[in-house]
Structure 1
């Protein structure tokens, strides 16, 4: 069905025409985080500041009548999801736009016409790896859900876990250098990359800033320097860089543009956080046939992202590439 996406206001988002400036938002962030007794409050990314409204773009406000694949979403088992929502809300002021459960993902998908959602787990210690992978293995043939698996560097035999998950039908692996405490160029990660490449798995990396850690520096775990080092060793075309390669040093600046990087990038947590002109420049110079639609749900509102994408000024063909064609090719989803 064709849907017209009108300008959509979102709770907790601050706009320039409401009198907000980056400096003012930073002060508010610092106050909130000091109140929460957070040790890294100074210089916190202004992740909830919106640079542009959808109506400022040049698009028609209408998305093509086509599938929509969200390649960057998160969910947890029903019993754990409320704790995650509370943790991010209490410590970082993050709004969850769905319950953070698989049922919540499905409900939002149906409301907005999303065809498939890729679920990205982020275990942070060896104990959590089987908890995530064993839970998600039941959904490898699900019509709505495309689960990815993950490993951590210091677990027992991560290579064997990758081969096990490949046999179970997982199409990809999510790695988060910051939360999982490794640099992309760390030689201890090489066997993990090699196993995923051997299994033809997609490798999706978190890159750049995040709402749950402070402003990043030039030699960050997943900085452009680290991405270069990874691709120099592994020029793997089935790599996805989340967040358009990452906002460095914070969400006030667009990501650095590196069209020479192979593979794909996703749009998670970027649409609206950077100016429309910067977004269009980055996706067109990198190539819209290598850009994947992603939101970072539940920490972003899918409706807001689709609204902005409809108004941002992309052509019908470019929108189809980003919304589903590229993901369909990369993940072999069998979409028409």
Structure 2
């Protein structure tokens, strides 16, 4: 990847297409609910992009993309998209894709071994956690065996925070509990793993202030601005992005739920200073990813 040739780096894109030909029971309904929330017709029709299609889309726009699946097998019953498969395709498109992986914390020491193998053998740069979908508090000590492996391998931990469209409007929220994704729980992780880079995904609504506080207080914590159109960002979130957190905010779309085209167009309307825009759109991510 030649970052000098990129106009931006999107820190939050999903490898949505599962590796098994027949989708698991309930998966289509889950994606239809997401599509309705984000007004994404492709998701409603089951036409989610493959990783190869994602690479082509981002290459056309000269935008680098951090891409990952989500492993929530225990709570959802959906078989995960193989981390190795996503990493392999990312390696074939390494001019544009940056591979992250996802391991359910319930997998414990087996998951920790997978962390080390994925980093060493597949070039994975970070790991995505989704406390709401995975059903765990980030500061639960049972997850620490994974964090220890991630920290020792020099990788990044990225945590979903707050409420976005996952499970929204579905019966019982599809069994997903929002309490797990309050970013204040990640404050403990940042204390206990001070040298592991941590990214809080999304504006953390309704706990936006907690997320901003953790990122401001802990040197190893960043925020990716994905999952919301920027025109809906709370004013305080924009103020922090423009000032004290300008070197810790990361552009992220939440592809394919939100496209970079939509996100970037709305980003131009929220009053981000000209000198701050390059930091958010590329330079902060470039520094964090060591590109």
TM-score, normalization: structure 2? 0.78
1:174 pairs with 2:174? no
Q: Is 2:217 the partner of 1:260?
A: yes
Find 2:115's aligned residue among 151, 162, 171.
162
- Cα shift at 1:238: 1.1
**Counterpart Cα distance in 1 of 2:116 and 2:278:** 33
State the match for 1:56 in structure 2.
none
Measure, in 1, the Cα distance between the counterparts of 2:136 and 2:7. Answer: 35
Number of aligned residue pairs: give it: 262
Aligned equivalents of 2:35, 2:179: Cα separation in 1: 21
| Stretch deviating more after TM superposition (266-275 or 319-328) | 266-275
Say which of 239, 242, 263 aligns to 2:201: 242
Alpha-carbon distance in 1 for matches of 2:111, 2:78: 13
Q: Which residue number corresponds to residue 30 of structure 2?
A: 87
Q: Trace 1:169-318 onto structure 2 (pairs within 5 A).
A: 169-213=123-167, 220-236=179-195, 238-244=197-203, 246-248=204-206, 257-258=212-213, 259-262=216-219, 263-270=221-228, 271-275=230-234, 277-318=235-276
Q: What SS does the corresponding residue of 1:205 show, helix, strand or coil?
A: strand
Q: How many Å separate the matches in 2 of 1:195 and 1:182?
A: 18
Mapping of residues 35-50 of structure 1, within 5 Å: none
Residue 210 of structure 1 deviates from its aligned partner by: 2.5
**Any idea what the Cα deviations from partners look like across 1:41-94, whole Å, max 9, x if unmatched?**
xxxxxxxxxxxxxxxxxxxxxxxx962111101123377699656632257623
1:267 deviation in Å?
0.4
Shift in alpha-carbon separation, 1:91–1:308, aligned structure 2, 3 A: closer
1:160-209 residue CA offsets vs partner (Å, 9 max, x unmatched): 10110011211111111111121111011111101100000011011111
Higher helix proportion (structure 1 or 2): 2
- Structure with higher strand content: 2
C-alpha distance in structure 1 between counterparts of 2:40 and 2:22, whole Å: 10
* Cα 1:80–1:288 shift into 2, 3 Å: farther
| Alignment counterpart, residue 106 of structure 1, candidates 55, 72, 78 | 55
Alignment of 1:22-37 (within 5 A): none
Deviations 1:272-328 (A, max 9, x none): 2224x3332131344211111001111113212101222322233311111111111
Does the residue aligned with 1:272 lie in a helix, a strand or coil? helix
Quote the Cα distance in structure 2 between the aligned partners of 1:227 and 1:147.
Answer: 23
- The Cα RMSD (Å) is 3.1
8 Å CA contact 1:137, 1:170 repeated in 2? yes
What does the per-residue CA deviation read over 1:122-149, in whole Å, with 9 as the maximum and x for residues that have no partner? 1112797874212112135321211111
Between structure 1 and structure 2, the one with the greater Rg is 1
Distance 1:299 1:219 in 2: 19
Change beyond 3 A, Cα 1:254–1:82 = farther
SS state of the match for residue 230, structure 1? helix
Structure 1: any 5+ residue segments left out of the alignment?
1-64
| More contact order relative to length (CA 8 Å, sep ≥ 6) | 1
Q: 77-86 or 130-139: which moved more?
A: 77-86
